[in-house]
Structure 1
Amino acid sequence: MSSSARVLDAELLHRIASRAAGHDRDGSFPADDLDELRAAGYLAALVPEALGGWGLTLEQLTREQSRLAAAAPATALAVNMHLVWTAVAKTLHDRGDASLDFVLQEAAAGEVFAFGVSEAGNDLVLFGSTVEAAPRPDGSVAYTGTKTFTSLSPVWTRLGAFGLDTASADAPRIVWGFLDRDADGIEIVEDWDTLGQRATRSDTTRLHGAVVRADRVVRRLPPGPNPDPLIFGVFVNFEILLSSVYAGVAHRAVELAAEAAKRRSSLKLGGAPRSDDPDVRRRVATAAMLDDALDPQIRSLARDVDTAADHGPRWFAKASGLKVRVTEGAKAVVDQAILVGGGSGYAASSELSRLYRDVLAGAFNPSTADSALGTIASAVLGPPSS
């Protein structure tokens, strides 16, 4: 990272961390966090300086997202969805494709982009859809259907989404576009009541003929795997930035484990701190060793995006594999940390307890382990013969 690169202020992160437990307890959206992050310019962290942003690389942003996640995992995960869209736009922009430059410009102006991708029962994810995308004579598209896990639900102003057009002459086509918040036919169902990552407010979004303007329809693609740069950008940036959030959870868990080991005393050791207990030392060392492996993987793949490295068809395998390794590794770190913390860590008010609940969400974020293994198998062995 360049010494001149912008970073999140330590005092800002401290304030965000001080509010995290309350937002988790209440299941409330961290609007105060978002306001401060927006004021600091963080929503435009990836936007080139010439367009009014910080001008960070993806590699640099992964570091900042990990720092933010260590302070407040749910805030980081929610903001992550906005940052993914700016990362996609930057990836295309860097490769000479200006079709999403408006995302960069509007992010710099304060707009908040949300991810309208997940659909219940859609295990094709990016390559299929249960949402209808009905073309209109003026080139606009009306979306009808349901999107789940729409983080930033209380505050987003732009929703990047897709649906399936089955009516046009070239149908079927997956149609990608960006909805404005004030479009008719958008219903947000406040149903986000989860074990962890509660403050993301990833409520369900129902679309009732909600219209994307013609100038915001950005792709019409055949269903199924597709080499289009937009699909590449969405998949790879999502996995990398998601991984950076869960790495931040792991980093904080190691810190808390070390603090607990030094704070707690042991009758067995004559009142000495638990950090002198060989079993505790082994658990903390195990957590730290697992944690040390996370950042290098993330930074390496992010750097490859920044430099347009050519991994060919292995890109999807590399990105999905990274996400699974990091989220599973982060959970293993938190597992060790919470045992070091002892019974007090089991209290609902404990930060380690909150991290434990938050890290579990990584298993449900795409790509799942099964999906990633299928992708990697196809990359290494080729598609199944039957």
Structure 2
Amino acid sequence: MSSFDPRTHLPDDLLERVRSRAAAHDQENSFPDADLADLQAAGYLSILVPGELGGAGLSLAEASALQQRLAGAAPATALAINMHLVWTGVAKVLADRGIDDLRFVQEGAVAGEVFAFGISEAGNDLVLFGSDTDATPRPDGSYAFTGTKIFTSLAPVWTQLGLHGLDTTSADAPQMVYAFIPRSDAVRVRDDWDTLGMRGTQSRTTELHAAVAPADRVVRRIAAGPNPDPLVFGIFSVFEILLASVYTGIARRALELAVTTAHHRRSKKSGKTYASDPDIRWRVADMALAYDALPPQIEALARDVDGIADHGGQWFALLSGLKHRAVTTAKQVVDDAMLVAGGSSYFSSSELSRLYRDVLAGRFHPSDPESAHATVAGAWLGPVEP
């Protein structure tokens, strides 16, 4: 990444426009349409598409660095765009391994399609390994999906929804079916996104009423349960790395704000700025020590995905561990930044107040703390004795 300049894809002026709108979208609970338009115009939605198809041809490691930068300006915008980038990232992971099944995603991203991520379902802790959405096969090879997806980011604007469902009627059932459906009358999006933070993502609930994925958009039929299929690996790896990137970007911004505030606040007792206070210096140093560990970890694991490294049975533990560390560290850094900034950060007009609410969302994304610990324990200790 030595020759990679993030300002080429996220220029400073674009970033500042995004930053200037973030507070209003949080207050209004609105989707950042202008951010999306600016990012599309800059070619940002096709950064992971190879150059020969019209994209920027960036690596996952480079896209991760960009998402950290974007999240520092507007976490909700970065998290929303993440879900589109996940699918273009999965397409890249597959293509790098000689599998061209998601070429249409790459071509679509260049053409202006916005892809959303329709995997989450209420109460489904199987996540990629099971689904409560019914996938009904049709004679022409297409599938009709009926069910409810939650946390569907980009809800007001997506044009294609990548999702999964369970086929329980075919001769080889049960089979997990992964496919893409276009926006249609069979898809109903509830206007129900009224949350504590990450409000600009507009990750609304999506109802599917026999929504049809054409035969050429049905990309996988695989056995339910844990599966080594490259598509499953692609989804999990890109999702976890880009999520870790967003929350790492929040941590960086909180650290920057804490430093700025420490230099501006002045103690009545000593007459010096808080940047000279030993307790504040220790706290800021502790924040920096925690933050500094995250970007190298993300880059290293992203490079391993890009380079087709073989971590065998440790892959899922490494990926879930990375995401878990990023979100828990980010929350601690934001907590400490609030203490450095003092009571002013408690007002809703404070950027730190918004970061404090936004960072809380991290623990609700897969892998949650329980799942991450179970995955890592299984990788190191093996299965629980019967």
Same fold (TM over 0.5): yes
1:340 is matched with 340
Name the CA distance, whole Å, in 2 between partners of 1:196 and 1:290.
23
Q: Does 1:56 align with 2:35?
A: no
Aligned to 1:67: 69
Q: Which residue of 2 aligns with 1:350?
A: 350
User: C-alpha separation between the residues in 1 aligned to 2:189 and 2:368?
Assistant: 26
SS at match of 1:195: coil
Q: What pairs up with 1:151-300 in 2 under 5 angstroms?
A: 151-182=153-184, 184-269=185-270, 271-300=271-300
Q: 1 CA distance for matches of 2:251 and 2:101?
A: 36
CA offsets 1:269-313 (integer angstroms, 9 cap, x no match): 1x2211111111111111111111110110000000010000011
CA offset at residue 2 of structure 1? Answer: 4.6
Kept in 1: contact 2:4–2:62 (CA 8 A)? no
**Cα shift readout 1:69-96 (whole Å, capped 9, x = no counterpart):** 0000000000000001000000000110
Question: Is the 2:241–2:323 contact (alpha carbons within 8 Å) kept by the matching residues of 1?
Answer: yes
* Counterpart selection for 2:106 from 100, 104, 107: 104
Within 2, Cα distance between the matches of 1:225 and 1:175? Answer: 14
The reply to whether residue 305 of structure 1 matches residue 302 of structure 2 is no
Is the Cα contact below 8 Å between 2:243 and 2:323 reproduced in 1? yes
Distance 1:202 1:126 in 2: 19
Q: Secondary structure at the match of 1:265?
A: coil
Counterpart of 1:314 in structure 2 is 314
Q: After TM superposition, give the deviation of residue 4 of structure 1 in Å.
A: 5.5
SS of alignment partner, residue 266 of structure 1: coil
Structure 2 Cα separation of the partners of residues 243 and 169 of structure 1: 40
Residue 3 of structure 1 and its aligned partner are, at CA, apart by 1.8
In 2: Cα distance, 1:251 partner to 1:360 partner: 15
Q: Deviations over 1:356-380 (max 9, x none)?
A: 0001100101101110111111112
Distance 2:315 2:160 in 1: 28
The alpha-carbon deviation at position 7 of structure 1 amounts to: 2.9
Deviates more, 1:271-280 or 1:336-345: 271-280
Counterpart of 2:366, as a letter, is: P
Pairing partner for 2:18 from 6, 16, 38: 16
2-structure distance, mates of 1:283, 1:313: 38
Tell me, yes or no, if structure 1 residue 95 matches structure 2 residue 94.
no
Of residues 150-159 and 284-293 in structure 1, the stretch that sits farther from structure 2 once superposed is 284-293
Could you list the per-position Cα deviations for residues 304-358 of structure 1 after superposition, in whole angstroms to 9, with x for gaps in the alignment? Answer: 0010000011111100000001110111111110100100000011000000000
Equivalent position amino acid for 2:52 in 1: A
Deviations 1:50-86 (A, max 9, x none): 0000110000111000000000000000000000100
Counterpart in 2 of 1:360?
360
Tell me what 1:40 maps to.
Answer: 42
* Letter of the 1:9 counterpart: P
Amino acid of the structure 1 residue aligned with 2:55: G
After TM superposition, give the deviation of residue 146 of structure 1 in Å.
Answer: 0.2
Deviation of 1:35 after TM superposition, in Å, equals 0.3
Cα distance in 1 between the residues matched to 2:377 and 2:366? 17
Q: Distance in 2 between matches of 1:31 and 1:259?
A: 30
Identity of aligned residues (%): 62
Q: Which residue of structure 2 aligns with residue 370 of structure 1?
A: 370
SS, match of residue 361 in structure 2: helix
Q: Is the deviation greater in 147-156 or in 258-267? A: 258-267
TM-score by length of 2: 0.98
State the one-letter code of the partner of 1:173. Q
Distance 2:103 2:97 in 1: 12
- Unaligned 5+ residue runs, structure 1? none
Query: Residues 28 and 174 (structure 1 numbering): CA distance in 2 closer, same or farther, change over 3 Å?
Result: same
Task: Using the TM superposition, name which of 7-16 and 195-204 deviates more.
Answer: 7-16
Offset at residue 185 of structure 1 (A)? 1.0
Q: Hey, what's the Cα distance between the residues in 2 that align with 1:2 and 1:10?
A: 19
Number of aligned residues: 384
CA contact (8 A) 2:68 2:247 kept: yes
SS in 2 for 1:342: helix
Gaps of 5+ in 2: none
Q: How many Å separate the matches in 2 of 1:4 and 1:312?
A: 30
Q: SS state of the match for residue 163, structure 1?
A: strand
Distance 2:374 2:87 in 1: 26
Distance (Å, rounded) in 1 between the aligned partners of 2:43 and 2:201: 20
CA distance in structure 2 between the aligned counterparts of 1:384 and 1:248, rounded to whole angstroms: 36
Shift of 1:385: 2.5
What one-letter code is carried by the residue in structure 2 that aligns with 1:97? I
